[in-house]
Amino acid sequence: MRVRVVALLGVALMAGLAGAASAQAKQGPVAGTWACVAHGTGNGDMEYTFNLKQAAAEVTGNFTAPSPDGTPTKHEVKSGSFRAGKLALHFDDDNGTIDVTGGVSGKDAMKGDWTQGEAGGTWECKRGTAAATSKP
C-alpha cells in the first residue's frame, strides 16, 4: 500500500511539473518579467521593466520606468504582437507614442530599437528580476 501511494505521488508530481512547463511554453517566448535598459534617451541609459503576457501572436502588459521626478510610472501596451520572431509594442505617454521593435536574442534575452517622435535608440532586456525603477 505504501509503495502504491509513493508511486501515485510521484506520478502526480511529474504530471504537475509537465503541466507547469507546458503552461509556460504556451505563454510564448516574450511572456514574463524582463529587466531592461534603453539606450539613446538623451538623458543617458534608462532602466525599466517589461511585464509581458503573450497569447498566440498577441502581446499585452506594461513597462515601468522612472518619471522625471524619479517615481515609477507604468505604461500599458496599447497594441503588441510577436510574429515570426519579431516583437512590436506600442505605448502612449505624455510625449507621444513609443514604438518598440525587436526580438528574442538568446534563451533569456531580447533586444531591438525604440522610437518616440524624432527620438530613438536601442534597448536590451534579460528575463528575470525587475530592473530598478528609479535613478540612482
**Residue 112 exposure: Cα atoms within 13 Å on the Cβ side:** 17
**CATH number for the segment(s) 29-127:** 2.40.128.120
123: cell is 534597448
Q: Render each residue's pLDDT in the chain as its tens digit; 136 residues.
A: 444 444 433 434 344 434 434 444 467 999 999 999 999 988 889 999 999 999 999 999 999 998 878 889 999 999 999 999 999 999 998 889 999 999 999 889 999 999 999 999 999 999 987 654 444 3
Q: How far apart are CA 103 and CA 111, in angstroms?
A: 6
- Residue reference for cell 521626478: 69
Q: Is the pTM of this model over 0.85?
A: no
Sign of the dihedral through C-alpha 13, 14, 19, 20? positive
Three-class SS state of 118:
coil
For residue 67, the 8-state DSSP code is: -
Domains in the chain: boundaries:
29-127
